[in-house]
Amino acid sequence: MNHSPFNLFAPIGIGSDHAGFEYKEALIQYLQGKGLNVQDFGPHSQDSVDYPDYAHPLAEAVEKGECSFGILLCGSANGVAMTANKHQGIRAAICWNQSIVELARKHNNANVLCIPARFVSLEVAMHMVDDFMLTDFEGGRHANRVNKIGCA
């Protein structure tokens, strides 16, 4: 594994709703196959669930530094992103291709990747996770903007 801007000694947090469950399970296996520690915030079946029940605990863990970063999945990624972004220390980005992932990291210092499972292939999702882990925040002029995101 190449250098990551994240502390990969802390687990990677991952959560979803029922629409993202299959991808969540596959991404856990993918990341563990790379020797990475993953904390699964659920759900643990494909039964219909409410995404905030999983997105809020993941966002809190990322905010507290208990997870290096987060991955959230749902059908469109909108619900999990809206939920995660209620937390002051979270910058959750909806991404559907690798170029968007790179910009979310380079320009917005995103710390939660939100994947629309109904609109991307699993292969694309895996590549996006890799790019998210390996792309550095550029800082500079972007740092001032990112520092203005929070409302507190």
Query: How many distinct structural domains can be found in the chain?
Result: 1
- Whether the Cβ atoms of residue 35 and residue 9 lie closer than 8 Å to each other: no
Which structural domain range is residue 71 located in? Answer: 12-147
User: What is the spatial distance between Cα 141 and Cα 12, in angstroms, rounded to a whole number?
Assistant: 28
**How many other C-beta atoms can be found within 10 angstroms of the C-beta atom of residue 97?**
12
Residue 3 lies in a domain: no
Q: Tell me: the pLDDT tens digits for 81-129?
A: 999 999 999 999 999 999 999 999 999 999 999 999 999 999 999 999 9
Question: Is residue 95 flagged as an active site residue?
Answer: no
Residue 84 is assigned to a structural domain of this protein: yes
pTM given for the model: 0.94
Q: Per the domain annotation, does 31 fall within a domain? A: yes
Is position 107 annotated as part of the catalytic site? yes
Write down the catalytic residue from 18, 56, 107, 142: 107
- Select which of 44, 56, 67, 74 is catalytic: 74
In this structure, is residue 1 part of a structural domain? no
Whole-angstrom distance, CA of residue 127 vs CA of residue 129:
5
